[in-house]
Structure 1
Amino acid sequence: MTSAHILGFPRIGAQRELKFAQEAYWRGEVSEATLRDTGSDLRARHWALQKQAGLDYVSVGDFAWYDQVLNTLALLGALPARFGFHAAELTLADYYVAARGNPQHFAMEMTKWFDTNYHYLVPEWTADLNFDGGVNWLFDELAEAQALGHQAKVTLVGPLSLLYLGKVKNGLSHSLDLLPKIIPAYQKLLARLQQAGVEWLQIDEPILALDLDAEWLNAFPLAYTALSAQTPKLLLATYFESVKDRAELLHSLPVAGVHLDLVRAPQQLPALLENWPQGRVLSAGVIDGRNIWRADLSSLLKQLQPAHAQLGEQLWIASSCSLLHVPVDLAYETALDEESKNWLAFATQKLTEIVALKQALNGNATAVVTQFDAAESAILSRRNSSRIHNMMVKKRLAAVTAKDAERHHVFAERIGKQQQRFQLPLFPTTSIGSFPQTKTIRQARAAYKQGRLAHLEYLEAMRAEIRLVVAQQERLDIDVLVHGEPERNDMVEYFGEQLWGYGFTLNGWVQSYGSRCVKPPFIYGDVYRPEAMTTSWSEYAQSLTSKPMKGMLTGPVTMLQWSFVRDDQPREATALQIALALRDEVTDLEKAGIGMIQIDEPAFREGLPLKRKDWAAYLDWAVRAFKLCSAGVKDDTQIHTHMCYSEFNDILPWIAAMDADVITIETSRSDMELLEGFGEFAYPNDIGPGVYDIHSPRVPRVAEMQRLLQKARSVLPDARLWVNPDCGLKTRDWPETIAALENMVQAAKLLRATVTADEEHQDCC
């Protein structure tokens, strides 16, 4: 009989229970035991959902106190040696120091998990790592599942993907130099799992979907031959792209099963089925783990039937990837209209879809006929809904020309006019946009939405916060100010709520990193801006100061990437529709006297396809979308953008082609490594490399920021260099925010004084 499973379940809880427990623990309000109880309760609840839905295995090992990569390092005893932790005695407090830092230690670097908005902690590979073993958390969780009577399939990040995703630090020339050490460590883990009664181990190797060189590809047979003895049955999981070109390699590996992402790459199935090894399981990932649209069960059944005819019980039905990337349960959406709610499926509903396909393939079609009929009805409802299409939007997009996406003059001509207008000092200081989102702010927003706070009262409450933020920035003597964004719940949701074509949930939370959760909107139709979204807030903030006040917008690619996007038209068309809506907002801000407008694109690199052959097509429309929304302004209006937590060096020509006057980027966790590529490329416009990490509670010293700025000066001209934090400050508290910004401004002023003294010395000597 065909089996059903998932690659992982969201760990945060339908009501973000894990987030609130983590943050209470960090504040010292609850004990570690209380936090651990929350984790145990969530795991039990999620396993019960999987079993009740009819899955054959529950997923163990997908839970993490912060991140699954960090969990794997803790399990192997491979946390960076610089923290000085004893691997076998690692505490949860130690674990969080690695993730978040403290006054003595920088946090580990964080970056995007492939092309998702989930962030993982980047391993640090040094020659002295021994992988001698660490915490027993995975085995404790396995024992919990077994005690509850569950058939557990354990999930583990594979050794080659783990090595690939890390960064070489000291004493190594290549990550693969650690292969002889890491394989024995995995062998011990696998043998121990087998002794614990685990039948199947899902071992994730998502790097197989990347463009790998021969050295990495040749490592797979070596590694998996060594791992295949005295182990549970290995289900090698790939996802996020096609592995069609890896068919011969995958067929040759001594594993019991292979998982394929047949949502991202359904076309790979025939090639992989050809010469499929006798007796090997094929896990067909046909239920989308990254989007929330209800599955077309009838179409999927037809797609699966040839594979089922060939493989029989060796065919398993699964999610395309971990369900980590979608919300937990649609049942909590009590405010959604019935039509759009009927179009959606969250993680809990996807379990039912997987099992429905399993039952149909196993000959139990009558048991699931109601589910198939309901799915077909939902698909037709969405396809035929009058809410989907807007002819005005389609006609406007069709009329766009290449000229619409170009500034009037090149940067070299624009920058002189901007300098004349703003009169900024050398190394101008600014922040990225948001300031602390206090409990008072969140309560006021909630009261306004619930009708308990009148419009004028809400307006005054937000204006009071803006006055506070502006006054604090002026006291700190920051050069370019922001209004702090107190009125914004989220940088995508806030704008989506004011655009036609977007839908919203009450509890559609998804983990971004650690305790940080986002609630992505869903784009169901053509996007249109009915009226100005931010102008009144920016206009008010500018009235409070004579210094430049940046208008703050979220860019079209990020609005796309951080939403659940409609799948009935190309993503390019949706991005360009959003760009036109934002273009209207940009020109309205300019008319209101806002001379600097920041259009954030932190997800620009995230959207890059995993295969290099597909890059050009994506980058072409992504750049065009940014320029379409930003190019309709005068030369002396300065366009800023912000990008963070991604590797940019391989797409620098396209970042330059975006032609933003100023780009701010995250660089502090990498110790300015990310900036080196900008220098080598001779990036032509202004750059603000982040000088401190806002995701850590530690307040960096002035000397630390000075050191980073000196590193920046070694690769960038002084005239092009701005000074700013890594990212927005909404997650920080006010005391640490003020302390860090005071140090940042002092570092910039000391640098100016040094440069001035050097110039005076040169003049007189």
Structure 2
Amino acid sequence: MVTIHNLGFPRIGKKRELKFALENYWAGKISRTELVEKGRAIRAENWALQAEQGVELLPVGDFAWYDHVLTTSMLVGAIPERHHQGCDDANLDTLFRVARGRAPTGCTCAASEMTKWFNTNYHYIVPELSINQAFKLGWQELFEQVNEAQQLGYKVKPVLIGPVTYLYLAKCAGEEFNKLTLLDSLLNVYQQILAKLAEQNIEWVQIDEPILALEIDDSYRAALNTSLSKLSGQGVKILLASYFGSVANYYQDIASYPVEGIHFDCVTGESDIEKLDVLLRDEQILSLGVINGRNIWRADLEAIYQQVSTVAKKRGDCLWIAPSCSLLHTPVDLEQEEKLDSEMRSWLAFARQKGTELSLLKKALSTDDSTAIADYSAPINARKNSPRVNRLDVQARVATLAETDGQRNNPFPIRNLKQASVLQLPLLPTTTIGSFPQTQSIRAARRAFKAGELEEATYHAKMKAEIRDAVLAQEALGLDVLVHGEAERNDMVEYFGELLDGFACTQLGWVQSYGSRCVKPPIIWGDVTRSRPMTIEWTVFAQSLTKKKIKGMLTGPITLLFWSFIREDVDKHVIANQIALTLRDEVVDLQNAGIEIIQIDEPAFREGMPLKASQWSSYLDWAAYTFRVSASGVKDETQIHTHMCYSEFNGIIEAIADLDADVITIETSRSNMALLGAFESFDYPNQIGPGVYDIHTPNVPDIGWIKGLIHKAAEKIPVTRLWVNPDCGLKTRGWEETRAALDNMVTATKELRAELSRSD
């Protein structure tokens, strides 16, 4: 009979209990014991929610205090020396120092680098490995959590990031070297882990190697074979799991792996089912990831049944079904959503509901009775032809788009001269990325307004008071280009999702971005358009308060697309063009209202790329065009900025240039300006603001550090084309540290200007 299992479950809790516990611990409001107990309670609830929906083999090890890659580093003893603080035994505070550069106990230090987990909006802390890295069995939490689940009576499957993927994602600390030279040492620790799990009577261990969704070279292919050979025979059965893409490049490799089971992502690799069914041995488990683990649409179980019923009959007990990947990327429970209308709710399924879908599918496969799944699939099938979803006016406007709609009036050198004349900015102009601290008073006012306890006029007055404070603070600090601070915005994507037709927003549809940072992605359910201006009132008000330039702030079309839950019945580039046209209207409105600098943020530009490099070109062409459509309705004198964070630019730098933004701001502080290498080798033609301090840590950068980073940037980019800014928005920081950090940033810039003028 088919077995239902899960690769992972959201770890934040139904109401973000983990977020609040972490932040209270960091603030010294609760003890470490209280934090640990809260984690235990969340895990117990997660296991119960999954078991109640019919999941038979529950994941353990999917829970993490910050992120699961950092948890793996703790498990294998790969902690940078600066984070040990003189203590050999790693603990929770060690983990937080690595992630944040600070913990409630111990000194501050530079946090480790953070970047995106494959092509998701989830972030992980990048492992730092030295050429003589000594791995050892470290943190014991995995084994403790296995024991927790077993004591509650659950049959569990521990989850580990595979050693080859772990090395692939790591960075070299210091000199560059071949990270695969560390594989044997790392495998020794993995063997110890598997042996300890065998002692706990674990039958199955899930080893995740999502690099199989990439196009990897022969050395990593060989490493996978070596790794799985050495990890077999350790007293447990191995389920090798890949996700996020087809494994078609590696069919023969997979068939030769000495593992007891294979899981792959049928949502992105539907064509893999038949091929792997033939290649795998009859006694091997074939696990089909048939339910989309990264989106929230109700599954068409009828279609999935037709897709897998033949394989199910053939493989019998050797067929497992599961979501395509960990459910980390979806909200916990649709039942909490009280404000979505009944039709909208009938189209959706969150993490808990995906277990129900698997149970319905298992029953149909076991009985050959598809009545229940036909009833379940009816709403999502009816949606395809809904006039509510499909708007002919929007579709007609997109159909008229031409290449010229993605072109500015003149090339950058001409625009640059005109902008310099109009804007009159100093050398190394200083600015911020857009948001300022979201204080408790801001959040309280927003909650009261949404609950109907605050009249709209009163709410707007409160937000304008916050904007006034932000503008005055920036003037006092001496920044050159100011922002309104985004007090009125709950989130850079959700805010626009609330205002655009074709989007819907949830009450508790939270997903984890990193650590305690959670976002509530809106749902793109229909054709997208704008019924009214979205940012004009706030931006124009801010400009009225100052003689300095206020920068209009918009979220770009690619980020609005990929940081939302995307409809699946229309191609992504079509949706992006719909969004771009709405933003184009907003950009023109801002310009016509007197705003001369407009930033269109695109932090998701890199993560939207296909994982396979051979598919990049097509995506980059339409994504860059979409951005240009949003930005190209303005005159030459209007300066267009964009912002990208935690992205690798090597290999796509030409596409970044193809955006044709007048100024791009990027994250470079955690990488110590290493990310600027791509801009240097390509000779990036436009202006650039490399982030000079890391806003994801509460540490305040000193003036010397900032000056050093600007000097490094000036070695790669002419100083006349450099801006000075933090690496990202400041909404998660407090005002005290924000003022201190920006004061140092402005002071460092002024000192450098003076030094440069003397050298002239």
- Shared fold, TM over 0.5: yes
| Residue in structure 1 matched with residue 401 of structure 2 by the alignment | 400
CA–CA distance in 2 between the matches of 1:51 and 1:498?
38
Q: Which runs of 5+ in 2 are unaligned?
A: none
- 1:451 and 2:455 are equivalent in the alignment: no
Larger CA deviation: 290-299 vs 90-99: 90-99
Task: State whether structure 2 residue 88 is matched by structure 1 residue 95.
Answer: no
**1:359-758 mapped onto 2 (5 Å cutoff):** 359-363=363-367, 365=369, 369-370=371-372, 372-758=373-759
In structure 2, how many angstroms separate the alpha carbons of the residues matched to 1:545 and 1:171?
Answer: 48
1:294 equivalent among 288, 295, 298: 298
- The 8 Å contact of residues 522 and 564 in structure 1, kept in 2 or not, is answered as yes
Say if 2:109 is the partner of 1:108: no
Q: CA deviation at 1:171?
A: 5.2
SS at match of 1:286: strand
Residue 650 of structure 1 aligns to a residue whose secondary structure is coil
Deviations 1:623-673 (A, max 9, x none): 011000100100010000000011112100000000000000000011110
Task: Report the residue type matching 2:727 in the other structure.
Answer: D
User: Is 1:129 the equivalent of 2:130?
Assistant: no
Is the 1:88–1:133 contact (alpha carbons within 8 Å) kept by the matching residues of 2?
no
Q: Distance in 1 between the 2:185 and 2:280 partners?
A: 32
1:78–1:87 contact (8 Å) kept in structure 2 = no
Distance 1:129 1:460 in 2: 57
Q: Distance in 2 between matches of 1:87 and 1:355?
A: 48
Deviation of 1:373 after TM superposition, in Å, equals 3.7
Alignment correspondent of 2:142: 138
SS in 1 for 2:286: strand
Cα deviation for residue 377 of structure 1 reads 1.9
Q: Secondary structure at the match of 1:483?
A: coil
Render the CA deviation track for 1:257-309: whole Å, top value 9, x for unaligned. Answer: 01010001111222222232231101100000000000011110110112113
SS for the counterpart of 2:608 is coil
Please say if 1:70 is aligned against 2:74. Answer: no
1:21 aligned to 2:21? yes
| 1:273 to 1:85, Cα distance in 2 relative to 1, 3 A | farther
Q: CA offset at residue 354 of structure 1?
A: 1.1
**SS class of match (2:384):** helix
* Equivalent residue, structure 2, for 1:336: 340
Q: 1:272/1:551 Cα in 2 relative to 1: closer, same or farther (>3 Å)? A: same
CA drift at 1:230: 1.8
Q: How far is the alpha carbon of 1:454 from its aligned partner?
A: 1.3
Given residue 698 of structure 1, which amino acid in structure 2 is its aligned partner? N
Pairing partner for 2:171 from 167, 172, 182? 167
The code of the aligned residue for 2:352 comes to T
Q: Please state how far the C-alpha of 1:310 moved relative to its aligned partner.
A: 2.5
Q: Give how far 1:88 is off.
A: 6.0
How many Å apart are 1:385 and its aligned residue?
A: 2.1
Aligned to 2:12: 12
Aligned with 1:315 (options 304, 316, 319): 319
Give the whole-Å Cα distance in 1 for the aligned partners of 2:410 and 2:224. 52
- Offset of residue 86 of structure 1: 6.9
Q: Retained in 2: the 8 A contact 1:496–1:521?
A: yes
Correspondence for 2:359: 355
Letter in 2 for 1:57: L
Q: Distance in 2 between matches of 1:742 and 1:387?
A: 51
Query: Paired residue for 1:260?
Result: 264
**Does residue 239 of the first structure (1) align with residue 240 of the second (2)?**
no
Task: Name 1:61's counterpart in structure 2.
Answer: 61
Q: Secondary structure at the match of 2:642?
A: strand
The alignment status of 1:285 with 2:298, answered yes or no, reads no
Per-residue deviation at 1:54? 1.5
Q: Distance in 2 between matches of 1:325 and 1:755?
A: 48
Residue 207 of structure 1, aligned match among 206, 211, 228: 211
The 5-angstrom pairing of residues 40-51 of structure 1 reads: 40-51=40-51
Cα distance in 2 between the residues matched to 1:543 and 1:432: 20
d(CA) in 1 for partners of 2:231, 2:115: 29
Amino acid at match of 2:327: L
CA distance in 2, matches of 1:503, 1:268: 34
Contact 1:497-1:504 at 8 Å conserved across structures: yes
Distance (whole Å) between structure 1 residues aligned to residue 31 and residue 365 of structure 2 = 48
Q: Which residue of 2 aligns with 1:83?
A: 83
Secondary structure of the 2:680 match is helix
Size of the aligned set, in residue pairs, is 756
What is the deviation of 1:369? 4.0
Contact 1:112–1:645 under 8 Å retained in 2: yes
1:327–1:347 Cα contact (<8 Å) kept: yes
SS at match of 2:508: coil
Q: Is residue 326 from structure 1 mapped to residue 327 from structure 2 by the alignment?
A: no
The whole-number CA distance in structure 2 between the counterparts of 1:373 and 1:152 is 31
- Aligned 8 A contact 1:686 1:721 in 2: yes
Range moving further from structure 2, 328-337 or 46-55: 46-55
State the secondary structure of the residue aligned to 2:716.
Answer: coil
1:345 correspondence with 2:346: no
Check the 8 A contact 1:470/1:483 in 2, yes or no. yes
Deviation at 1:359, TM superposition (A): 2.0
Worse-matched range after superposition: 49-58 or 733-742: 49-58
For residue 481 of structure 2, give the secondary structure of its aligned residue in structure 1. coil
Post-superposition CA distance 1:488-515 (Å, at most 9, x none): 0010110111110001110000000000
Whether contact under 8 Å (1:13, 1:42) holds in the other structure is yes
Residue in 2 that maps onto 1:762? none
Unaligned runs of 5+ in 1: 760-765
CA contact (8 A) 1:88 1:135 kept: no
C-alpha distance in 2 between matches for 1:614 and 1:571: 14
Shift of 1:87: 7.8
* Counterpart Cα distance in 2 of 1:480 and 1:275: 60
Partner residue in 1 for 2:30: 30
CA distance in 2, matches of 1:132, 1:198: 22
Contact kept? 2:165, 2:210, Cα under 8 Å: yes
Question: Quick one: which amino acid aligns to residue 529 of structure 1?
Answer: R
Structure 1 residues 85 and 62: CA distance shift in structure 2, 3 A: farther
Distance 1:47 1:85 in 2: 35
Q: CA RMSD in A?
A: 1.1
Assess if the C-alpha contact under 8 Å between 2:261 and 2:287 holds in 1: yes
Q: Alignment partner of 2:187: what SS?
A: helix
Partner AA of 2:701 in structure 1: P
Question: In the aligned structure 1, how far is the partner of 2:88 from the partner of 2:739?
Answer: 38
Please give the per-residue CA displacement for 1:684-714, whole angstroms capped at 9, x wherever unaligned.
Answer: 0000000000000100100000110000000
Which deviates more, 33-42 or 319-328? 33-42
- The AA in structure 2 aligned to 1:7 is L
Give the drift of 1:311. 1.5
- How far apart in 2 are the matches of 1:391 and 1:434? 36
Q: TM-score, normalised by structure 1?
A: 0.98
Matched-pair contact (CA < 8 Å) for 2:5–2:321: yes
1:39 paired residue number: 39
Cα shift readout 1:51-93 (whole Å, capped 9, x = no counterpart): 1212221110000000000001111111112323578621211
Distance 1:381 1:220 in 2: 44
Q: For the residues of structure 1 that align with 2:150 and 2:456, how far apart are their CA atoms? A: 54
Contact 2:84 2:94 (C-alpha < 8 Å) held by counterparts: no
Alpha-carbon distance in 2 for matches of 1:308, 1:501: 38
Report the secondary structure of 1:202's partner residue. strand
**Aligned equivalents of 1:254, 1:594: Cα separation in 2:** 62
